[in-house]
């Protein structure tokens, strides 16, 4: 009886020393369970000295680092598997249409006595005299024809051969007739252009847009990496001053001038690799030249292109809009495409750490960060190429789950 009495007294003594407090207002103390008079929360018992706290599953989640799991109650969504139509913008530049690139060559060796084309982009007309050349070989061939006409006029076959030789050396039939009528050899022979267009330097490279500064922007103004800053076009036009000048000696077959036909231009557009498969030959493109000049055109050629460690598609579009459009003119193209069937989630559900893209997947009441691979961005939606399944529940607002003082660790 004595032992039972002592034990009961010790339990009553412990119960008398139990105190209860509010988790939000530690200054509220009570000796029995109840509610907080300040916030209305249930009072909890304060642990006695030396008492161990039982680690339950819920408590274990709270004890984990906030960069590994987050306890929160926010709206969740599931990725949608579908195909959508979207539009995106690309930057480009006006350059030469190489199908209209021609050369004027010298058929004989000699010295240029006169050059009529003086500067790059000078207009050239078909039949225009572009240079005069003195060639000992031409002078000798003319004298041979005149000698035959004077001393062997009945030898028509040999005379025709002499005429053909002059024509093969670059003279026109009118020039040959002029020699016969004048009975005098010409010291210099005029060279004429066979094409319309404008002059460029012989080793001049076509303008090209800088790959590093080329970016794709969606219809909502977001570029491929999710930045809202506008893309910058950095066109590089290398123009050489190395033109054919008077007084130089040329050899047979040497190019004197390079002429570009001015009836049409080529526009080259750079499309990032994320849009591979979205564009093909014949696709419609809306061109904006930035000076109130716009045009609807079609893609003429799709060329895979690799530069500076980045993969691009180079689209070629032929334009016949020549008013106020010059070589090196920057262009913005807008294309429409339809994506393949894949997972799509809102852009707000993605957290971009700078090196990777993360979503927060809900597992047993907590959210864990998970790395994903994204693709196209358009109209507030983002394509998820890998990392998610249709059954995954993810946080609709990823930024609400970020601890500003820790780094997110994904698994």
Distances from the Cα of 28 to the Cα of 18, 330, 377, angstroms: 14, 71, 52
Cα–Cα distance measured from residue 358 to residue 38, given in angstroms and rounded to the nearest whole number:
40
Question: What is the structure's pLDDT at 111?
Answer: 93
Mean pLDDT (the chain) is: 77
Total structural domains in the chain?
4
Residue 107 falls inside a structural domain:
yes
Question: What is the structure's pLDDT at 318?
Answer: 84
Cα–Cα distance measured from residue 255 to residue 244, given in angstroms and rounded to the nearest whole number:
9
Does residue 243 register a pLDDT over 60? yes
Same domain, 49 and 157: no
- Among residues of the chain, what percentage have pLDDT more than 70? 75
Same domain, 320 and 222: yes
Tokens for 365, please give them.
Answer: 């009441």
pLDDT per residue over 318-348, tens digit each? 887 766 777 788 888 888 877 778 888 998 8
Same domain, 37 and 172: no
Banded model confidence at residue 407, pLDDT cuts 50, 70, 90: low
pLDDT per residue over 79-116, tens digit each? 888 888 888 888 888 888 888 888 898 888 999 999 99
Residue 7 falls inside a structural domain:
no
Residue 136 falls inside a structural domain:
yes
Give, to the nearest 10 degrees, the angle between helix 173-182 and helix 156-168: 130
Tokens for 326, please give them.
Answer: 């010059």
Question: What is the structure's pLDDT at 220?
Answer: 39
Does residue 403 register a pLDDT over 70? no
Same domain, 224 and 313: yes
pTM: 0.54
Of 289, 308, 338, which closes a domain?
338
Cα–Cα distance measured from residue 87 to residue 110, given in angstroms and rounded to the nearest whole number:
58
Same domain, 128 and 193: yes
Same domain, 91 and 108: no
More confident residue, 123 or 217: 123
Residue 245 falls inside a structural domain:
no
Question: What is the structure's pLDDT at 71?
Answer: 62
Residue 247 falls inside a structural domain:
no
Same domain, 317 and 223: yes
Same domain, 211 and 334: yes
Same domain, 92 and 220: yes
Parent domain of 307: 87-99+207-240+263-338
Question: What is the structure's pLDDT at 56?
Answer: 60
């Amino acid at each position: 009886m004595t032992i039972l009495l002592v034990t009961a007294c010790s339990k009553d003594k412990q119960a008398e020393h139990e105190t209860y407090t509010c988790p939000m207002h530690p200054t509220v103390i009570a000796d029995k369970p109840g509610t907080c008079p300040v916030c209305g929360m249930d009072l909890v018992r304060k642990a006695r000295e030396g008492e161990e706290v039982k680690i339950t599953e819920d408590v274990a989640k709270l004890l984990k680092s906030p960069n590994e799991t987050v306890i929160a109650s926010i709206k969740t969504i599931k990725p949608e598997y579908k195909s959508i139509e979207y539009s995106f913008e690309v930057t480009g530049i006006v350059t030469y249409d190489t199908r209209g690139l021609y050369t004027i060559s010298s058929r004989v060796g000699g010295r240029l006595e006169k050059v009529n084309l003086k500067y790059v982009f000078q207009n050239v007309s078909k039949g225009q005299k572009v240079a005069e050349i003195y060639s000992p070989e031409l002078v000798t061939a003319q004298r041979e024809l005149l000698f035959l006409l004077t001393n062997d006029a009945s030898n028509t076959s040999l005379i025709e051969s002499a005429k053909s030789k002059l024509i093969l050396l670059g003279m026109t039939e009118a020039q040959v007739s002029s020699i016969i009528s004048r009975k005098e050899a010409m010291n210099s022979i005029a060279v004429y252009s066979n094409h319309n267009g404008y002059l460029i330097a012989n080793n001049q490279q076509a303008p090209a847009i800088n790959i590093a500064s080329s970016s794709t922007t969606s219809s909502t103004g977001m570029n491929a990496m999710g930045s809202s800053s506008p893309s910058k076009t950095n066109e590089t036009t290398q123009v050489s001053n190395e033109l054919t000048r008077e007084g130089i000696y040329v050899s047979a077959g040497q190019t004197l001038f390079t002429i570009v036909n001015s009836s049409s231009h080529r526009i080259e557009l750079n499309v990032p690799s994320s849009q591979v498969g979205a564009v093909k030959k014949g696709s419609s493109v809306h061109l904006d030249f930035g000076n109130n000049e716009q045009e609807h055109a079609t893609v003429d050629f799709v060329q895979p292109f690799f530069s500076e460690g980045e993969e691009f598609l180079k689209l070629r579009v032929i334009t016949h809009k020549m008013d106020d459009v010059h070589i090196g003119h920057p262009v913005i193209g807008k294309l429409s495409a339809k994506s393949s069937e894949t997972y799509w989630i809102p852009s707000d559900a993605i957290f971009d750490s700078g090196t990777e893209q993360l979503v927060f997947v809900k597992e047993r009441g907590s959210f864990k960060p998970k790395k994903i691979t994204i693709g196209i961005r358009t109209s507030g939606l983002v394509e998820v190429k890998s990392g998610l399944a249709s059954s995954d529940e993810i946080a609709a607002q990823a930024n609400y789950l970020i601890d500003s003082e820790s780094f997110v660790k994904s698994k």
